[in-house]
C-alpha cells in the first residue's frame, strides 16, 4: 500500500533503535525524507547509515537530548534547513525507570516529567510552526494509560499526561490541518522490554526466560511484536493515508488489551 509519504519530511525522535527506528524505517521505505535523533551521536550515525542502506531514502541524524529545549530546536532547525518544512513528527523518548511509589524521590518525579511529558510538549511546540501545509503528530505512550502497570508509576502518570495532551491538541490544531494521534506498544521485542523482564525476574527470583514465556502466554497472538509491526502502524498514522484520523489511540499489542 502506498501511504503517500513520498517526499514528506518526518522527524522521528529516539530513533537510533527500538520503536523509533521501526517507525523511521517504515517511513523511509515509503519514500519519506526522515530526520532521526538520539542522545548518542555514534548510535544516530550508525542508524542513519543502516536506514540509507536498507531503503535508499534521504535520511539525516542529529544528536539531541529531548529533555533540553535548545537541543530540540537545533534538531528541528537542522531538518528545516535541509528540507524546508516538516510534515510529520513522532514524539518518542526512553521510558522512566521502574520503582514503587513509596520509593520514588522528588528528583525522580521531576526527571520523569522532563523526559516524558515536557519533552513531548517541547517537540510539538518546535515542530508546528513548520507545518505550514498541515501535518501529522504521533505520540508513543503505553498501555499503562488505561491499565496501570506494577512498579511503573512514573511512566503511568507522565504518559497519561501525554494522552491528555493528544486529545487537547487534536481539537486545537485541527483548523491548521494538523492531526494528532497516540500509538501504544504492547510487548514489543525491544531493549526496554528486555530490561523490564530482567527487573521482574530479579524481583521474583526466576529466570528471565520464564518471565518472557509468561508474558507471551497472555498475548492472544502468542508472540512478541516486532519493531516493524509497530513501525508500520506508526508510518500509517503519520501519512496522508490516515488523513481523517485524529485524536485517536491505536494499540499495537497482539490483542493484549481486553478493555472495550
User: How far apart are alpha carbons 85 and 83 in whole angstroms?
Assistant: 6
User: How far apart are alpha carbons 65 and 40 in whole angstroms?
Assistant: 9
Indicate the burial class of 90 (C-beta count within 10 angstroms; 0-12, 13-18, 19 or more): buried
- Give the residue carrying C-alpha cell 498541515: 134
For domain 9-186+226-243, the CATH superfamily is NAD(P)-binding Rossmann-like Domain (3.40.50.720)
Q: Is 259's pLDDT higher than 90?
A: no
Chain segment 141-197, per-residue pLDDT in tens:
999 999 898 889 999 999 999 999 999 999 999 999 999 999 999 999 998 889 889
- What's the pLDDT score for residue 258? 87
Chain segment 87-103, per-residue pLDDT in tens:
999 999 988 998 999 99
- What's the pLDDT score for residue 195? 87
Q: Which uninterrupted H or E stretch holds 90?
A: strand 88-91
Work out the pLDDT band at 245, boundaries 50, 70, 90.
Answer: very high
With pLDDT > 90 as the criterion, what percentage of the chain qualifies? Answer: 91
Name the least confident of 17-21, 128-132, 199-203.
Answer: 199-203
CATH 3.40.50.720 domain span(s) along the chain: 9-186+226-243
How much is the pTM? 0.95
User: How far apart are alpha carbons 195 and 31 in whole angstroms?
Assistant: 33
- What's the pLDDT score for residue 196? 82
Work out the pLDDT band at 1, boundaries 50, 70, 90.
Answer: confident
- What's the pLDDT score for residue 98? 87
Average pLDDT on 209-228 reads 96
Average pLDDT over all residues of the chain: 96
Indicate the burial class of 240 (C-beta count within 10 angstroms; 0-12, 13-18, 19 or more): middle
List beta partners, residue 36.
Answer: 12, 61
- What's the pLDDT score for residue 132? 95
Chain segment 15-66, per-residue pLDDT in tens:
999 999 999 999 999 999 999 999 999 999 999 999 999 999 999 999 999 9
- What's the pLDDT score for residue 199? 87
Amino acid at each position: 500500500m502506498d501511504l503517500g509519504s513520498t517526499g514528506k519530511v518526518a522527524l522521528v525522535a529516539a530513533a537510533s533503535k527500538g520503536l523509533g527506528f521501526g517507525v523511521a524505517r517504515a517511513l523511509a521505505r515509503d519514500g519519506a525524507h526522515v530526520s532521526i535523533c538520539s542522545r548518542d551521536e555514534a548510535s544516530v550515525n550508525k542508524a542513519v547509515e543502516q536506514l540509507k542502506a536498507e531503503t535508499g531514502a534521504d535520511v539525516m541524524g542529529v544528536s539531541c537530548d529531548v529533555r533540553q529545549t535548545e537541543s530540540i530546536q537545533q534538531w528541528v532547525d537542522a531538518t528545516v534547513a535541509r528540507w524546508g518544512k516538516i510534515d510529520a513528527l513522532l514524539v518518542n523518548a526512553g521510558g522512566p525507570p521502574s520503582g514503587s511509589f513509596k520509593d520514588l524521590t522528588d528528583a525522580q518525579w521531576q526527571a520523569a516529567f522532563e523526559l516524558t511529558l515536557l519533552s513531548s510538549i517541547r517537540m510539538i511546540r518546535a515542530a508546528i510552526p513548520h507545518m505550514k501545509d498541515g501535518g501529522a503528530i504521533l505520540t508513543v505512550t503505553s498501555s499503562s494509560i488505561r491499565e496501570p502497570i506494577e512498579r511503573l508509576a512514573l511512566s503511568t502518570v507522565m504518559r497519561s499526561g501525554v494522552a491528555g495532551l493528544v486529545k487537547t491538541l487534536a481539537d486545537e490544531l485541527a483548523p491548521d490541518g494538523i492531526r494528532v494521534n497516540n500509538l501504544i506498544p504492547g510487548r514489543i521485542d525491544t531493549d526496554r522490554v528486555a530490561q523490564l523482564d530482567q527487573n521482574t525476574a530479579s524481583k521474583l527470583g526466576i529466570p528471565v526466560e520464564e518471565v518472557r514465556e509468561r508474558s507471551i502466554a497472555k498475548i492472544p497472538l502468542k508472540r512478541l511484536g516486532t519493531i516493524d509491526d509497530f513501525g508500520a502502524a506508526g508510518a500509517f498514522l503519520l501519512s496522508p493515508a490516515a488523513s481523517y484520523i485524529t485524536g485517536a489511540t491505536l494499540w499495537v499489542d497482539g490483542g493484549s488489551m481486553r478493555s472495550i
